[in-house]
Amino acid sequence: MGSMVAGVWYTDEGIKARPDGEWTRAPSILRHWITPDGAPGPTGDGGFAAEAGRYHIYVAPNCPWAHRALLTIALKNLGALIAVSFAAPKRTDQGWVFDNDKGYMDGLFGSHSVHELYSRGADDYTGRVTVPVLWDTKTDRIVSNESADIVRMLGSAFNHLGANDIDLYPQHLRGEIDAWNERIYRDFNNGVYRAGFSESQEKYDAAVKTVFETVDALEQRLENTNYIVGDQLTEVDVRLFPTLARFDVAYFSAFKCNIRRLTDYPNLWRYARRFFAMDGVKDTVYFDIYRRGYHSQSEKRNPFGIAPAGPVVDWSL
């Protein structure tokens, strides 16, 4: 997949497991913050004030971390304020790339690959080239490539410019939100990858056990509530849903998270379909891309690149 060193792209074999066979994810390091008035946020420099039409976000339809940003744009009604460009749902030796012939294009610069954006907007960058990328057209800089931060800033910074008043991070629930966010990220969002990319039986067994312990906890949590925290929509739900949407069509088979399916959990399955039915959410979901993408050719996981025909799952309520 490659990576960048001091703003220069280098092709390599991608992220590897540790010597003990456990897979780890590198952290995002571009973490500035958009605020209503441009004051510094929790991380990074100030100067990024919320303005209609100033910011552009780059995503890929198959990336669950980018999916968080798309969901927030939909749920907060930010489509008229922030433009979106889609990279193609594939990676090459150039990392994430655009494919103009198939409608995946850089709406700002006509780039061929996402790493060109990193070279332009963070010219001394060293690290992985990931999506989402939140871009500031005024300063020609990358604001952030950390999806959790992007969800949080999009959830509040643009309220005075016409975004709706849904509060995804209400003050009185923040402690509980933070706790669930940490567990869901560690043991579910990232847990499925630890299972799928494990290179030892021991590490796989531990990872998949943790995944399903978390699913069981979520199933129990939803016994008498419609949402994970406070019986209201929060960023916990936004961060959980992308993994749920990919679970049966991708993670179940491609990542060997196959003890049970999402559809085997009555409360969680009901919750997922209700979220899917919310305004704008369906337009952010690409089941066939997930099915084909996660079963793409891989020397270790799927050497022939054969994608399964199913499962066929009805997400309608």
Any idea which residues carry the catalytic annotation? 63, 193
Q: Cβ atoms within 10 A of the Cβ of 67, count?
A: 27
127 three-state secondary structure: strand
Residue 32, beta-bridge partner list: none
Q: Are 241 and 59 in contact (CB under 8 A)?
A: no
Q: Single out the residue of 10, 261, 43, 269 nearest to residue 148, CA to CA.
A: 43
φ, ψ (nearest 5 deg) of residue 109: -120, -5
Distances (CA, A) of 283 to 44, 90, 299: 32, 19, 32
Q: Could you give the CA distance from residue 49 to residue 197 in angstroms, rounded to a whole number?
A: 39
What are 31's strand-pairing partners?
144
Contact, 198 vs 191, CB < 8 A? no
Residue in 219, 292, 315 with CA at minimum distance from that of residue 61: 292
DSSP state of 97: B
- Alpha carbon of residue 178 to chain centroid: 17
